[in-house]
Chain A
Amino acid sequence: MATTSDKQKSIFRSIDWLTIILYVLLLSMGWLSICGACYEYGDPRDFLSLASTGTRTGMQLVWIASSILLGFIVMMTDDRIFDTFSYIIYAALMLLLLATPFLAHDIKGSMSWIKIGPFSLQPAEFAKFATALALAKFMSSYGFKLEGSWKNMAVSIALILLPMALIVMQKETGSALVYLSLSLMLYREGLPGFVLFLGIAAVSYVVVGLRFSEDPLLGGLISLGDVLVTILVLIFSLILYYEYCRPAAIRESLSAERNFGSFQSLQRLRYFYLGIFIVGSVALHLSASTLVDHLAEHQKNRVYVLLGLRDDPNGIGYNVNQAKIAIGSGGLEGKGFLNGTQTKLKYVPEQETDFIYCTVGEEQGFIGASAVLVFFLLLLLRIIHISERQPTAFGRVYGYCVFSIILFHLVINIGMVLGLMPVIGIPLPFFSYGGSSLWGFTLLLFILLRIDAGRVRLLH
């Protein structure tokens, strides 16, 4: 008896309240944004009307309340069940993902929604925490080392690729791409930096190259894309040179790896790799643009839409343009709660889901929009802090998974609304309308908080 109350006391003492505060803050701002996005002219403006069920704002309140309850339930469980049942949870969710396309109703071409009673759930949102748990479990096994073990690397990547593949089958490419972000966690756990570097470089070549492939320079001889990619190759090569080919860098790795090979041979080897990088970069860019050039116009469009370079094949850039107008018209202080015209009059598409940040920008202005970014940043840094203080690899790996996923959503979603990133339809955590994503992120975050709260016991 005494142990239960002691345990609860210690949990309350060891909960990371700062994260809870940031979570509640983001949820509240999110709800206000939903109010702004869903408000119809002439509707009453009091809380009761806004909160009434039957409206989206009312429904979002239900999702928020149930999420908080869900968080509370997670905090009440024993933290060891996540460790114990992680594979089972992962397996269950993967089965559910596999089954989803067969159970789902087609919603705007997406086969990811399962109808349960009056609600629709998107299993893909829950696969994130399950994958994070499985990865944490696997990577915390005794003697696990990512570096130097092809088997470990392969299994880790397989754990990530499986849900990705299943989600792609549901025609939710955007949600699938989120799993790529877990490479950040792998980096923290020992994935060589240059792998991440090569990945980022390859994606930038293709995206930048194709994005500007239709802006001819020098009378059509080359495109703006070619020039920009050349500049990128130059920058990346300089970074690689600094990191690996500089004499000091070579000397450092000679001593660090207790590798007694000769200075010259290592330097020659690294210059060779650098050469391969440059050749490979150019080859990748040329093959990508040649490939796209040889596609028929409609296929080309498909590629561009898939890459998010063209959000709508008919009106080029309409959505992003309207989103920029919405945000840009907010000015310093914004137009005020429920006073945004651009969002309220439906100029911005998907404004309560993927483009919710428009409402923040229009109604709360630069101050409000920056505040949201700063709160997200604080949350992310706090998650790093929490992850690093975990006594177990399980906690740390899981924490970095949470960090990677939230960071990816933030970067892609807000970047897309600001016109800096391709249009990839993924929600903004805690803001976008919808129960599945809110529950998914709540579970993701609160499992971390629960694990973190349990570290006290492990430390003693």
Chain B
Amino acid sequence: MNNEDFHLAKRKYVLGGAAVLIVVVYIIRLFVLQMTSDDYKIRADSNALMHHVLFPARGAITDRNGKLLVYNQPAYDITVVMQEQIGVDTLDLCESLGIDTAWYNRRMAEIKDRRRNPGYSRYTQQLFMSQLSVEEFSNFQEKLFRFPGFYIQKRSIRQYAYPYAAHILGDIGEVNPSDIKEDDYYRMGDYIGKQGVECSYEKQLRGIKGSEILLRDVHGRIKGRYQNGLFDQQPTPGKNITLSIDVELQKLGERLMQGKLGSIVAIEPSTGEILCMVTSPTYDPRTMVGRQRGKKHQELSHDPMKPLLNRAIMGTYPPGSTFKTSQALTFLQEGIITPETAYPCSHGFRFGSLKVGCHGHGSPLSLIPAIGTSCNGYFCWGLYNMFNNRKNYHTVQEAMTTWKDYMVSMGFGYRLGVDLPGEKRGMIPNADFYDKAYKGSWNGLTVISISIGQGEVTLTPLQIANLCATIANRGWFITPHIVKEIQDDQIDSIYTQRRHTMVSPANYEVICSGMQRAVEGGTCRSAYTTQYVTCGKTGTAQNRGHDHSVFMGFAPRENPQIAIAVYVENGGWGATYGVPIGALMMEQFINGQLSPASEAKAEVFANRTINYGDYVR
């Protein structure tokens, strides 16, 4: 081997070194690609993995007797993946779906708008059109192959077995951006309870969404499940809910209230369960399903009669004479009166120039006949004597505060806490209120009308019904509620706890006697029946227009099964509408049906309408 060969032999190090150098560079490159960031991993996942939501079945709703009220029916949503739909014949698509191109363009813009649709991605399915009926769906499905990027997703829509209880049941609608912001469970296009039980029990009814992760190849075809479904989650169906309402009672109530404005609320006193909650006017919940919901909702919201308003919990009315029971209870408990105390009434309460009118009846009267005949004078004297009593109360303010505390303990002035959205609190004035209104210069006479449920006092029909239930229970109530049972779950503990008022049971017994007297020989005579002992109290609430007809009552007197409040706006005397409607309702619930005579009477009342003219409230 000569010198030159030896010189060349050294070149093996150059060549070997070059190989080593290249491999080292490549390993560094591998390290950079594989070890320094998750970016490529995320991009591989977004390439290949398609998250598919599995919607749970929403819980069904039944009435207290197990009658199915709300259930699910299949409907079909159309979703779109923006990335894949490029090149689709828009005209053809619109024609197949029965939409116009303006709607199409608007919807596409909406989907892409990240403010309205925070979860937007070009690569995932976005809701394009919701709730196609089975017929619409089958038409479209035949042509689906022409529209790459458009998919069909099966989901269920709500169906209603009865045309009743629309306000109680409520409805579901697409979530809005604030729903999504509040709870990240929701994605655009999801449904959420908007009203009624659907809203207040949304979390129980909705169940838990499931998901499956599918593998998508380069052409967007589904090739299988990621990791054989290891990370897939089956949806958990929503819980079924049993309402406390009796759909037959609800049905009768809605029938009786046709053509009138107002509300009926019935409560089972021993449990606080709401047996019916009628508001009138109402609407057929079956019209609020599917894609016509928006249109129908719009129409109803512009109706001057406000059919969307649940008057039972949102309407605040002067309770009128039904409120006198609460006054008698307060006066008895405070020792202002005894059952034997009698006050004079000569067609009303007169004090100086102040006059509160009353109808003709014997005078003076003791408490029980005063309730029976609904004497205004008696209760004005009671309040006057309480607010002017400087032995018990140093000031009128102190008397007022005591009075207010009684009222609040009976469930007035604040929301009762019913399990429905939108409940109003009504109005119970306090000393501050009058101090401000009258600049500190006021006394019992100034506020005398609150003793007969007029003036500043307003209650919701639910609060009136609850007052009645409290009397039926002789001093306590359970927060009224509409849901009786939740599948595999407990109802909220506030719906099982008794709330006691500040008045003793013995005093309640006196009121019961007064209310029995009203039925047997007073203002509520038409509610009399030989089958059970009924207690009742009418109300004729003055307002700017014609008087409101009010009734509250319970039956039977011992072990009461039902306590009811009927409020018919501008119905005139309590006895005109309130009493007969209340009586029919109690009969229906206690007997399970109406006698033929009562049925005939019900038909008469169902057909009787009140002319509200240009109703503006």
List residues of chain A with CB under 8 Å of any chain B CB: 40-42, 184, 187-190, 193, 322, 324-332, 339, 341-342, 344-347, 361-362, 365-366, 369-370, 373-374, 376-377, 380-381, 384, 387-388, 400, 403, 407, 410-411, 414-415, 418, 420
Q: Which chain A residues lie closer than 8 Å to B25 at the CB level?
A: 420
Assembly CA distance A381 to B21 (angstroms) = 12
Q: Which chain A residues lie closer than 8 Å to B39 at the CB level?
A: 328
B86, CB-defined interface residue at 8 Å: no
Given contacts A345-B218, A377-B20, contact A327 B33 (CB under 8 A): yes
Instruction: Find the residue from B12, B18, B44, B47 having the highest chain A CB count within 10 A.
Output: B44
Chain B positions 208-229 with a Cβ under 8 Å from a chain A Cβ = 215-219, 223-224, 226-227
Q: Are B33 and A41 in contact (CB under 8 A)?
A: no
A346, closest chain B residue (CB) = B218
Q: Are A411 and B22 in contact (CB under 8 A)?
A: yes
Q: Which chain A residues lie closer than 8 Å to B29 at the CB level?
A: 418, 420
Q: Are B26 and A414 in contact (CB under 8 A)?
A: yes
Q: Are A342 and B48 in contact (CB under 8 A)?
A: yes
Q: Which chain A residues lie closer than 8 Å to B23 at the CB level?
A: 373-374, 376-377
Q: Are A41 and B26 in contact (CB under 8 A)?
A: no
Tally of contacts, chain A with chain B, CB under 8 A: 128
Q: Are B12 and A384 in contact (CB under 8 A)?
A: yes
Q: Are A366 and B31 in contact (CB under 8 A)?
A: yes
Assembly CA distance A393 to B44 (angstroms) = 51
Q: Are B26 and A373 in contact (CB under 8 A)?
A: yes
Assembly CA distance A376 to B26 (angstroms) = 12
Q: Are B27 and A370 in contact (CB under 8 A)?
A: yes
Q: Are B215 and A345 in contact (CB under 8 A)?
A: yes
A339, closest chain B residue (CB) = B227
Chain B positions 29-64 with a Cβ under 8 Å from a chain A Cβ = 29-31, 33-35, 37, 39-41, 43-45, 47-49
Q: Which chain B residues lie closer than 8 Å to A387 at the CB level?
A: 12
Q: Are A369 and B34 in contact (CB under 8 A)?
A: yes
> Knowing that A326-B44, A407-B22 are A-B contacts, what are 17 other residue pairs whose CB atoms are under 8 Å apart, sorted by A's residue number?
A324-B33, A327-B40, A328-B37, A342-B44, A344-B215, A345-B217, A345-B218, A346-B217, A346-B218, A347-B217, A361-B33, A365-B34, A370-B27, A373-B23, A380-B16, A381-B20, A420-B26
B88, CB-defined interface residue at 8 Å: no
B226, closest chain A residue (CB) = A341
Assembly CA distance A400 to B18 (angstroms) = 14
What's the nearest-Cβ distance from chain B to residue A319, in Å? 12
B19, CB-defined interface residue at 8 Å: yes
B356, CB-defined interface residue at 8 Å: no
What's the nearest-Cβ distance from chain A to residue B212, in Å? 14
Assembly CA distance A342 to B20 (angstroms) = 30
Q: What are the interface flags for B579-597 relative to A under an 8 Å C-beta threshold, 1 for contact and 0 otherwise?
A: 0000000000000000000
Assembly CA distance A326 to B218 (angstroms) = 13
Main secondary structure of the interface of B (DSSP, over half): helix
Given contacts A184-B15, A190-B8, A407-B19, contact A332 B44 (CB under 8 A): no
Assembly CA distance A392 to B23 (angstroms) = 30
3 tightest Cβ-Cβ pairs between the two chains A and B = A328-B40, A329-B44, A41-B224
Assembly CA distance A138 to B218 (angstroms) = 51
Given contacts A184-B15, A388-B9, A415-B26, contact A325 B47 (CB under 8 A): yes
What's the nearest-Cβ distance from chain A to residue B319, in Å? 69
Q: Are A332 and B15 in contact (CB under 8 A)?
A: no
What's the nearest-Cβ distance from chain A to residue B97, in Å? 31
Q: Are A342 and B47 in contact (CB under 8 A)?
A: yes
Given contacts A328-B40, A420-B29, contact A366 B34 (CB under 8 A): yes
Q: Which chain A residues lie closer than 8 Å to B11 at the CB level?
A: 187-188, 193
Q: Which chain A residues lie closer than 8 Å to B31 at the CB level?
A: 366
Assembly CA distance A134 to B166 (angstroms) = 95
What are 30 A-B pairs at a CB distance below 8 A?
A184-B15, A187-B11, A187-B14, A188-B11, A322-B47, A328-B34, A328-B40, A329-B43, A330-B34, A342-B44, A345-B223, A346-B218, A347-B218, A365-B34, A366-B34, A366-B35, A370-B27, A373-B26, A374-B27, A376-B23, A377-B19, A381-B16, A381-B19, A384-B12, A384-B15, A407-B18, A410-B22, A414-B26, A415-B26, A420-B25
Q: Which chain B residues lie closer than 8 Å to A345 at the CB level?
A: 47-48, 215-218, 223
What's the nearest-Cβ distance from chain A to residue B167, in Å? 51
Partner of B34, one of A332, A347, A373, A414: A332
A414, closest chain B residue (CB) = B26
Q: Are A361 and B34 in contact (CB under 8 A)?
A: yes
Q: Are A388 and B12 in contact (CB under 8 A)?
A: yes
What's the nearest-Cβ distance from chain B to residue A451, in Å? 17
What's the nearest-Cβ distance from chain A to residue B51, in Å? 14
Partner of A188, one of B15, B27, B37, B47: B15
Q: Which chain A residues lie closer than 8 Å to B217 at the CB level?
A: 345-347
B34, closest chain A residue (CB) = A366
Instruction: Find the residue from B30, B35, B215, B227 having the highest chain A CB count within 10 A.
Output: B30
Q: Are B41 and A329 in contact (CB under 8 A)?
A: yes
Assembly CA distance A47 to B11 (angstroms) = 46
Q: Are A328 and B41 in contact (CB under 8 A)?
A: yes
Assembly CA distance A187 to B8 (angstroms) = 8
B27, closest chain A residue (CB) = A370
